[in-house]
Structure 1
Amino acid sequence: MVFELYINQIVDWVITLSPAEIYLVFAVVAYVENVLPPIPGDLLVAFGGYLAAEQVVGFFPLLIITTVASVVGFMTMYMIGAHFGHKIEEQRSRFWLMRIVDVKYYDKVKRWMQRWGQGVVFANRFLAGTRSVISLASGVSKTKVSTTLLSSTGSSLIWNFLLLLMGWVVHENWQIIGHYLNIYGRVILVIIILAVAGRIIFKRRLKSKSRKAKKN
């Protein structure tokens, strides 16, 4: 209820602005969402699709602006991770940034990075609740800057396009997208858990077969 009220207040304020100001607001939202995960950026981007359908702003200018801002936000966290990586690793929960980023998620994402590398960066926009953690872990891991920039750009471009398109299609019913985004987030979480569990079980079975083969 509080979340819906918060969104409605932002929407009521945005529609009073000029197109140039609206572009600026969406740029700020797309950037900050990558630094402070609680910001409901996805739903607001979907609202941007509705505004584009109403011809208040342009679809493709909004796509470019939100994508660039998202990438800049991602690379900001990347640079923080690259610069403060040793402190983050040594101090963990005592380091100022880890008061924002959940240490548990950070450790999990680091394991993902070790297994799948740039695949995790490319998937970051599709993994709800882990975006800023992925960019931070990518910086700490010092993944190649050019490749990381390319992966995060592709991820942001595809994700923002889909959100804007959905907002355009459902039009004045754009808020229902928030409901489906919540369902999507839960489904992705279940898939990740099953994938990790499956990997662990598969490795254990391989070790078990290897031991049996050695005994025989």
Structure 2
Amino acid sequence: MQHWITNIMTSLSYWGIGLLMFAENLFPPIPSELIMPLAGFTVAQNKMSFVPAVLAGVIGTILGAFPWYYAGKLVGEERLKGLADKYGKWITVSSQDIDKAQRWFARYGNKAVFFGRLVPGVRTLISLPAGMSNMPLAPFILYSTLGTTLWVMILTFLGYVLGDNYTLVDEYLAPVSKIVLVALIVAFIVWVVRKRQKAKRRRPN
């Protein structure tokens, strides 16, 4: 993976950064934690400039967020609620639960998108509920750009500072992505179990 990323960035320069960050949003196994630190290392070698490298990473990321955003819109709230009412009994998720989730995202959506862009394992996925909740495109782009810019700048700066050891960023952050993903799965399972327990207590004996 590292060799492949290095070859693309070496041959395409800033275009390579944008292309890789775009692909990273569509195929999460391609890690931004390796792409942007490598860009920072390249900046340290005076082969690139910091601001254009960050700009290329941000543009690639935002463009890569659109497919997930529009996928969420395609699924849509009504279709999702219909699926929940039809199949949700298996995990005790109803259209009312989706309504609650949508109200939560409507209230905290801007913050969720901004901070979601800073969390490994969530960065890509946050575009999906944004689209499903019909978050307006302008604030989605704004808060995605703000969060992404901060994230990309941090990674690029770390690569610049670490130099030859830029791969340490991915080594330390990759486990965080896995932990976050596992935590989300566990949280979902706990939520389902609690809902089932509540449903059992409500049933008449």
Q: Which of the residues 15, 20, 24 maps onto 1:33?
A: 24
Mind listing any 5+ residue stretches in structure 2 that lack a counterpart?
A: 85-97, 192-205
Is the counterpart of residue 51 in structure 1 residue 46 in structure 2? no
Counterpart amino acid of 1:37? P
The structure-2 alpha-carbon separation of the partners of 1:14 and 1:72, relative to structure 1 and needing over 3 Å to count, comes to closer
The structure-2 alpha-carbon separation of the partners of 1:79 and 1:170, relative to structure 1 and needing over 3 Å to count, comes to same
1: CA distance between counterparts of 2:83 and 2:181? 28
Where 2:135 maps in the other structure, the secondary structure is coil
Q: Say whether the 8 Å CA contact 2:117–2:124 is kept in structure 1.
A: no
- CA shift, 1:91, in A, is 5.5
Is the counterpart of residue 135 in structure 1 residue 127 in structure 2? yes
* Structure-1 residue corresponding to 2:201: none
Percent of matched pairs sharing the same residue = 26
Q: Say whether the 8 Å CA contact 2:72–2:128 is kept in structure 1.
A: yes
TM-score under structure 1 normalisation?
A: 0.68
Counterpart amino acid of 1:179? E
Q: Which of the residues 79, 83, 86 maps onto 2:70?
A: 79
- CA shift, 1:158, in A, is 0.3
* Structure-2 residue corresponding to 1:99: none
- CA shift, 1:123, in A, is 1.2
1: CA distance between counterparts of 2:178 and 2:28? 16
- CA shift, 1:70, in A, is 0.8
2: CA distance between counterparts of 1:130 and 1:146? 21
Where 2:30 maps in the other structure, the secondary structure is coil
2: CA distance between counterparts of 1:25 and 1:135? 23
- CA shift, 1:79, in A, is 2.1
* Structure-1 residue corresponding to 2:91: none
Q: Say whether the 8 Å CA contact 2:69–2:128 is kept in structure 1.
A: yes
* Structure-2 residue corresponding to 1:213: none
Q: Which whole-Å deviations, capped at 9, do the CAs of 1:138-182 have from their partners, x for residues lacking one?
A: 101001221111100000100000000000000111011112213
Is the counterpart of residue 164 in structure 1 residue 159 in structure 2? no
Q: Which of the residues 123, 144, 147 maps onto 1:152?
A: 144
- CA shift, 1:69, in A, is 1.4
Q: Say whether the 8 Å CA contact 1:82–1:139 is kept in structure 2.
A: yes
* Structure-1 residue corresponding to 2:54: 63
Is the counterpart of residue 123 in structure 1 residue 115 in structure 2? yes
User: What is the count of residue pairs matched by the alignment?
Assistant: 172
- CA shift, 1:187, in A, is 6.7
The structure-2 alpha-carbon separation of the partners of 1:49 and 1:24, relative to structure 1 and needing over 3 Å to count, comes to same
The range that moved more, 64-73 or 166-175, is 64-73
- CA shift, 1:115, in A, is 6.1
Counterpart amino acid of 1:39? I
* Structure-2 residue corresponding to 1:100: none
1: CA distance between counterparts of 2:15 and 2:177? 27
Counterpart amino acid of 1:148? F
The structure-2 alpha-carbon separation of the partners of 1:87 and 1:62, relative to structure 1 and needing over 3 Å to count, comes to farther
2: CA distance between counterparts of 1:87 and 1:116? 21
Where 2:120 maps in the other structure, the secondary structure is coil
Q: Say whether the 8 Å CA contact 1:45–1:163 is kept in structure 2.
A: yes
Q: Say whether the 8 Å CA contact 1:37–1:131 is kept in structure 2.
A: no
The structure-2 alpha-carbon separation of the partners of 1:29 and 1:174, relative to structure 1 and needing over 3 Å to count, comes to same
- CA RMSD in angstroms comes to 3.1
Q: Which of the residues 71, 87, 105 maps onto 1:113?
A: 105
The structure-2 alpha-carbon separation of the partners of 1:73 and 1:88, relative to structure 1 and needing over 3 Å to count, comes to farther
